[in-house]
Amino acid sequence: MKKLFLLVSLIVCFTTLAQKKTTFNKKRIVEASCGQCQFGMEGNGCDLAVRIDGKAYFVEGTDIDKHGDAHAEDGFCETIRKAEVIGTIKDTVFVVTHFKLLPKKH
């Protein structure tokens, strides 16, 4: 019974450690754009992504179409914008709890 308990405990610990998770509790300014069109990420269609510390992550919790026309001149498929975010990186996805697109500077 002790061996079984130890084995289960080790599996739970390794599973927890294997999930890469980084949380940003304070607002942070990041680059936001279409992952496929601007960041060169693999995928079908156009999906919102953010670039944090040089690494791009698809976004979960908001959608590319909730922030204007993605194919407009200033849209995510045409340009990289700045956004204020709060959220958590879970493996390869940024789970957003706050996303505010910042005005484009001319």
Per-residue pLDDT reduced to its tens digit, 46-59: 999 999 999 999 99
Per-residue pLDDT reduced to its tens digit, 8-41: 555 554 444 445 577 878 999 999 999 999 999 9
The CA distance from 66 to 92, in Å, is 22
Which residue did the predictor score with more confidence, 18 or 2? 2
Helix then strand then coil, in percent of the chain rounded to 5, is 15, 45, 40
What is the reported pTM?
0.77
> Are the CB atoms for 89 and 73 separated by under 8 Å?
no
> Are the CB atoms for 37 and 46 separated by under 8 Å?
yes
At residue 4, φ and ψ (nearest 5 deg) are -65, -45
